[in-house]
Amino acid sequence: MLMQLLYVVTDPTPFSPFNTKHLIGTFGTLLIVALILILTLVIFKKTNKRKVLQITTVILLLMEVAKQSLAIYDAGGVYPTWALPFQLCSVSIYLMPIVAFAPQKLADFFKPGCFTIGLFASLSMLGYPSTILDGTPASWIPITENWYPLISFVYHGAMVFFSLFMLFGKVYIPNFRDYPRAYLTMVGFAIIAIIANTILDTDMMFLNHANGFPFQFILNENGKLVFWGFMMILSFVVLSIPFIPALVKQLLNHNPKDNTIKSM
C-alpha cells in the first residue's frame, strides 16, 4: 500500500487539465494573490505603490534565476535552448522592471503592454499549465520533485499580482487609446520569438511547434502562416478585453456638444 502511494505521488504523469494538482496550484496561487492585494491595497494602503511593484519584480526575477539555474544544472552545465527567456510569459521579465524601476515617462509608455500581456499570459498559464505540469509527479508532494512547477506558479502569481495591483491601485488606468501600444509590444516580442525559433528550432511563444498549446491542431492541419495569422487575431482580441470597459465608458459619457464645439 505504501509503495503504491509513493508511486502515485512521485511518478511523472501526462498533463491533465483541472486535475487535483492543477486546481491546488491555480486556486492556491490566486488565493495568495488576493490576500496580498488586500494587504497592500486595504490594510497597508499607505505603502509606496512603486515600492510594491519593485518588490514584486524582484520576486519574479529571482524565480527566473532559479529556473535558469535549475535548467543548467539538470542539463549537466550546458545551457538548454528551451530555457531561453523568449516565451510569452517571459515578456514580463523585460517589461515589469521598466514599469517598476525606469523613469516615469518610459514606465508610462510600457504600462499598457505590461498590464495586458502580463495579466493574460499568466492567467492563461494558470488556466492551462500544460508545459508546466506535463511529466511532473501527480501530486505536489514531495516538493523536491516539483521545483519547476513550484517556481513557475510563484512566477506567474507575481505576474497576476503586478497587473492587478496596477489596476486596483490605479497605477495604470486602461484607456482604449493605449491599445495599439499594447498590441504592438506583443507583436515585437513575437517577432523576436520567431527569429529565435528559426535559428535554434525552439518553440518560443508556441510559434514553431505549438507543443502543449490547445490550438496546435491549426498548425498541424494548415501550416505556420495560417497558424501565425490565427495567433495574431487571437492576441488582438484577447488583449483588447481590458480596454473594452474604458471604451464603453467613454462612449456613454460622450457629449455630442463636444463635436460641435471642436468644429467651430
Q: What is the pLDDT of residues 159-170, one digit of tens each?
A: 999 999 999 999
Write out pLDDT tens, residues 44-53. 888 899 999 9
| CB proximity list for 118: less than 8 A, separation 6 or greater | 91, 92, 95, 96, 159, 160, 162, 163
pLDDT digits (tens, 9 = 90+) for 193-228: 999 999 999 999 999 999 889 899 999 999 999 999
Does the structure show a pLDDT above 60 at 6?
no
DSSP 80: P
Q: Give the mean model confidence (pLDDT) for residues 178-190.
A: 93
Nearest-angstrom CA–CA distance, 14 and 232: 29
pLDDT digit string, tens, across residues 75-121: 999 999 999 999 999 999 999 999 999 999 999 999 999 999 999 99
Query: Cβ neighbours of residue 123 under 8 Å, at least 6 residues apart?
Result: 160
- Look at 12 and 129; give whichever has higher pLDDT: 129
Please list, in sequence order, all residues whose beta carbon lies within 8 angstroms of the beta carbon of residue 120, skipping any fewer than 6 positions away. Answer: 238, 239, 241
> Tens digit of pLDDT for each residue in 141-152?
988 899 999 999
Sign of the dihedral defined by the CA atoms of residues 52, 53, 54, 60, in that order: positive
Residue 61: what pLDDT?
98
The average pLDDT across 169-185 equals 92
> Which of 46-55, 190-199, 237-246 is predicted least confidently?
237-246
177 vs 257, more confident = 177
**Mean pLDDT score, 122-135:** 92
- Residue 264 confidence (pLDDT) above 60: no
Residues 6+ apart with CB under 8 A from 99: 53, 107, 110, 111, 114, 166
User: Given pLDDT bands bounded at 50, 70 and 90, which one contains residue 63?
Assistant: very high
**pLDDT of res. 254:** 60
pLDDT tens-digit profile of 22-37?
999 999 999 999 999 9
* Omega cis (within 30) before 137: no
Contact 193, 231 (CB under 8 A): no
Give the model's confidence band at 15: pLDDT under 50 very low, under 70 low, under 90 confident, else very high. confident
Q: From CA 27, how far away is CA 203, in angstroms rounded?
A: 28
**Model pLDDT, residue 17:** 86
Does residue 13 have a pLDDT over 90? Answer: no
Sequence-distant (6+) residues with CB within 8 A of 91 are 113, 117, 118, 121, 185, 186, 189
